[in-house]
Amino acid sequence: MQTIFIIYWSTWDLAKRKLFPALYNIFKDKKEQNIDIIAVGRRDFSNEEFIQYIDTETSDFIEKEADFKAFLNTITYSKVELTKSEDYSKLRGDINKYEKKETQVIFYLSISPEYFDAFVDNYRYIDIKDAKIIFEKPFGTDLETAKKLNTKIMEVFREKQVYRIDHYVWKEAIQNILAFRFANIMFEPIWNNNYIDNIQITASETVGVGDRWWYYDNSWALRDMVQNHLFQVLSLVVMNPPSMIDSEWIRQEKLKVFRSIKLWNDYEKNIVFGQYDWYLWEKDVAQNSRTETFVAMKLEVNSWNFIWVPIYLRTGKALIEKSTQIVIEFKEVPDILFKKFWPISKNRIILEIQPNEGIDIHFNIKENWNSKEVERVKSKFIKEIESKEAYEKLLEDAIVWDKTLFTSWEMLEETWKIVDNLVNCKNNCPIIHKYEKGSNGPIASDILLENDRRKWYG
């Protein structure tokens, strides 16, 4: 079967860093797939100029082998203004050149949200029955815009054709959360409020917003990372076991989590917004911008097993390290035996998502033969085989119509409801704390936990 990928916008950062490298790997692994790529952009490139451009721009992200030239030959550039209907007819002409009897067409829409309407309205000039449309985030900027967008999409496409993505759920270590929890008997009995003291989920990045400021300044950490990636991770950590490993069953359990996320009553006190000190000097950012590049918060999930367990989330840019991890911190042991005499560390399970994938378990043992003291040791499992890039896996799933990991509209609806509340909270919150580039974020984020007599781990 032949697959035609149509990549909008092909000159964007995501295309060079993730999509073209992923497509090259698919091209290499699945020669029988017979892939053609139509790269859509607004710039005046000839085909040769675009190929030269993408060859140079992807150099840092692709290990090019002998067949890279053959891969480049699968690419055709097509200049399209998304608001001009005649450009869609021209694009249809370009698709016709490749279309064979057994062809599927996959559109990958990574465009500014204000163009989604234009794309949907003009799709009739392309009109490929059964084409798959992958929608990159942001899917709206709040519940209302997301609803409008969804209604618009559903006027033209059938649900079967619509692929809403959150690339985090294709990360191998994220998928492993369910296996870790439900393919072992020893963790689940203690995976609840009887034993867990608190849960911490951190996604920190070293990069700033760079040349994405125009997107980020209207998106902020809340919409860019929390509404999607962090909530998806949280749902896997606290959901009940689904009755089957099947997309619909898993979705239903995730939905229950989103519906039971509870902001603490005085939640202004439980959320910290930060902005790195250089943010206002990033190219063209408004001097009074209140965009948060960092957010830390405390939430609760109103479920039988997790109520009363504080869940701390934090994410930020321009921080000291790139790291995504989940820390499950257990309650202290009763202080009648060892703890009566020596300080004893809490047990922890740390699920490392990136840059290393692994699981780290902290427990206590006796220090050595001539001491009665207890010390903490770590038992660490590190995944050594490099996993496939999330984008490669998601494109492969789209090729074979596997919608298991794609986000449903209901999930988006529920997560936007929560984020709308958090945005209200930001509007009522006068302080956006400054933090130094390369630090751990604002001090206020540490105080958030210190107030609960806890500390961020790591």
- Summarize as ranges the residues that interact with ligand BG6 (CB under 6 A): 205, 224
H or E element in which residue 363 lies: strand 358-366
Minimum separation from the CB atom of position 42 to ligand BG6 (A): 21
Of all residues in the shown chain, the one whose CB is closest to ligand BG6 is: 224
Q: How many CB atoms lie within 10 A of CB 311?
A: 20
- 162-164 and 358-366 strand pairing: unpaired
Minimum separation from the CB atom of position 225 to ligand BG6 (A): 6
Minimum separation from the CB atom of position 386 to ligand BG6 (A): 14
Nearer to ligand BG6, 12 or 24 (CB): 12
Check: CB of residue 208 under 8 Å from CB of residue 278: yes
Long-range contacts of 363-366 (CB under 8 A, 24+ apart): 364/338
SS3 60: coil
Minimum separation from the CB atom of position 224 to ligand BG6 (A): 5
Q: Is 406 left (phi over 0), alpha (psi -120 to 50) or beta?
A: beta
In order, the DSSP letters of 406-458 are SBPHHHHHHHHHHHHHHHHHHHT----EEE-TTBSS-HHHHHHHHTTT-----
Q: Which of the residues are catalytic? A: 229
Q: Which residue stretches of 203-288 are H helix? A: 213-216, 220-221, 231-238, 247-260
Minimum separation from the CB atom of position 21 to ligand BG6 (A): 13
Q: Which tokens belong to 430? A: 């006068």
The 3-state DSSP composition of the chain as helix, strand, coil percent (nearest 5) reads 40, 25, 35
Please give the order of strands across the beta sheet that includes 162-164.
Answer: 75-79, 35-41, 2-8, 103-109, 132-135, 162-164
Nearer to ligand BG6, 45 or 391 (CB): 391
Check: CB of residue 366 under 8 Å from CB of residue 373: yes
Nearer to ligand BG6, 345 or 387 (CB): 387
Nearer to ligand BG6, 224 or 414 (CB): 224
Minimum separation from the CB atom of position 116 to ligand BG6 (A): 16
Q: Which tokens belong to 189? A: 């009995």
Check: CB of residue 5 under 8 Å from CB of residue 134: no
Minimum separation from the CB atom of position 166 to ligand BG6 (A): 8
Nearer to ligand BG6, 9 or 306 (CB): 9
Minimum separation from the CB atom of position 205 to ligand BG6 (A): 5
Q: Which of 180, 195, 454 is nearest to 306 (CA)?
A: 195
**Residue listed under structure tokens 């300044």:** 217
Q: How many CB atoms lie within 10 A of CB 79?
A: 16
Nearer to ligand BG6, 224 or 396 (CB): 224
The residue type at 19: L
Q: What is the DSSP letter of 282?
A: S
Q: Which of 162, 199, 234, 218 is nearest to 330 (CA)?
A: 199
